[in-house]
Amino acid sequence: MSKKICVIGTGYVGLIVSVGLSDFGNEIIGVDVDPDKVDMLNRGISPIYEPGVERYLKRNLETGRLSFSTDIDGSIQGSEVIIIAVGTPPKENGEADLSFVENVVKSIAANLNSYKVIVTKSTVPVGTNRWIKEKLEEYAPGKDFDVVSNPEFLREGKAAQDFFHPDRTVIGYESEKARDVIFEVYRSLNLITVPFVWCSLETAELIKYASNAFLATKITFINQMANLAETVGADIHTIAKTMGMDGRISPKFLHPGPGYGGSCFPKDTMAVVQTGDKYSVDMSLIRAVIEANDRQKSRMVVKLEKLLGGFSGKTIAVLGLAFKSETDDIRDTPALNIVEGILKHGGKIQAHDPKAMDNFSKVYPEVQYCHSEFDALKGADALVLVTEWNEYRNLNLEKAKSLMKGNIILDTRNLLDINLVREKGFIYEGVGRG
Ligand code: UDX
């Protein structure tokens, strides 16, 4: 039987979960403190760019199964399942800031008018779900509820696909009653035989951090190998491809680049280190990954500066600002380091990104934002490719050559055909293509 669910927070995770669970037939009310956002969502407009999401949003609004509201109290009271999907941004010291979660817990405690299952979707440090349980017992003594940890593994740009076809669904739980409720919420996924991992609250919490820290480590490993490859004259793509043929390694997440960014890896790796520090457990590997990733981002700036012989008085075309393609998200994008490095040393920037220019211009208004990649290339001394948007993969090199003043290309994603680029008379550098 479908469930009445209140999703608190309509950010990235909250929005996808709301549209996804309503598509499964549940009745969803998405809650946010921002009335403009709620209004937008009720009109079927997505505040973020994410392929497919607006279609699901409109479809489920039309059925009446999905709506959005600022009324947190009424929404909690009318629901059996409360999903916490508010942000857990990093504090100065890398620790996850749980103040938004705590405020939500207070609201839930004040509105526990019947048995409810409280589901934590936000990525929270180990021990947080038990802390939520204790807080609820303290604020609402004697009330009937259960706490469930259900971490989210969505990738930006592929969120809808990931929601409807996850590799696995992880549920940390303590009561059979809650397990039955969650089983109903995800009935559609059970029907398509998605593996469910039923485990303790702490195990569920740590699965999420372990997965993200591992993927960040895998990327950092291949980035360092790429740096070595380019120095000794080896080709990282052949190396990565061949490593991936070993079933124990797998070919995924072995693509070298300018360093990982986004809303998860930088934040979650820092939180793992913080948790290790808290319990005096050695997390030196992850600490080294964080540092190496920062150096990888800086390395791109140094490479470009060397190719150009200094930035002063030079114009650089930056193609791609988002931390990856198919998103407008610029959180911790390597483009921030590259742009900062160029501007600091007296370079001028002409930038293009299909979706992320609005967000980027709020941080760097001094950059010249262009309508197309070709506008950005006009008169440029060098081109730096930062995001792997498909439209940059087939860049018209002849046109690029005729528009640019110089002939330097730094391809931080290895998007272009190295032989073709050199044939057209460019000085080309990628990552790990010795
Ligand atoms: C990630 C996790 O994949 C997802 O499961 C979790 O829920 C949130 O964090 P996301 O940040 O959306 O998702 O993007 P992802 O595709 O994982 O890429 C993260 C970063 O790693 C990007 O900057 C990307 O460019 C980089 N990356 C990824 C590489 O540099 N090389 C790779 O081989 C893969």
Any idea where the domains of the chain sit in the sequence? 4-199, 234-434
Per the CB < 8 A criterion, the answer to whether 208 and 153 are in contact is: yes
Confidence of residue 90 (pLDDT cuts 50, 70, 90): confident
Query: Which residues are catalytic, by number?
Result: 264
Instruction: Name the residue with tokens 């549209």.
Output: 19
Q: For residues 300 and 410, what is the distance between their CA atoms, to the nearest angstrom?
A: 8
Minimum-distance ligand 1 atom for the alpha carbon of 156: 12
Across 356-376, b (16+ Cβ under 10 Å) vs e yields bbebbeeebeebebbeebbeb
Q: For residues 288 and 294, what is the distance between their CA atoms, to the nearest angstrom?
A: 10
Per the CB < 8 A criterion, the answer to whether 81 and 4 are in contact is: yes
Strand partners, 316: 349, 382
Per the CB < 8 A criterion, the answer to whether 17 and 85 are in contact is: yes
264 CB less than 6 Å from ligand 1?
A: yes
Q: Which fold has domain 234-434?
A: Rossmann fold (3.40.50)
Q: What is the pLDDT of residues 187-232, one digit of tens each?
A: 988 777 899 999 999 999 999 999 999 999 999 999 999 999 999 9
156 CB less than 6 Å from ligand 1?
A: yes
Q: What are phi and psi of 256, to 5 degrees?
A: -70, 155
Strand partners, 338: none
**For the residues 16-41, what does the mean pLDDT come to?**
97
Minimum-distance ligand 1 atom for the alpha carbon of 257: 30
Q: What is the pLDDT of residues 122-181, one digit of tens each?
A: 889 999 999 999 999 999 999 999 999 999 999 999 999 999 999 999 999 999 999 999
Residue 66 has pLDDT above 90, yes or no: yes
- Supply the pLDDT for residue 167: 95
Residue percentage of the chain with pLDDT more than 90: 95
Conformational region of residue 4, where left means phi above 0, alpha means psi within -120 to 50, and beta covers everything else: beta
| CATH class held by domain 4-199 | alpha beta
For 186, the enclosing helix (H) or strand (E) is none
Confidence of residue 92 (pLDDT cuts 50, 70, 90): confident
CA of 155 to the centre of ligand 1 (A): 7
E strands along 114-241, which residues? 116-120, 145-149, 169-172, 196-199
CA of 266 to the centre of ligand 1 (A): 10
Residue 221, classed as helix, strand or coil, is helix
Instruction: Name the residue with tokens 């994008």.
Output: 333
Confidence of residue 355 (pLDDT cuts 50, 70, 90): very high
Q: Mean pLDDT of all residues in the chain?
A: 96
- Supply the pLDDT for residue 95: 82
Per the CB < 8 A criterion, the answer to whether 54 and 44 are in contact is: yes
Same fold, 4-199 and 234-434: yes
Across 271-288, b (16+ Cβ under 10 Å) vs e yields bbbbbbeeeeeebeebbe
Minimum-distance ligand 1 atom for the alpha carbon of 261: 23
Residue nearest to atom 14 of ligand 1 (CA): 155
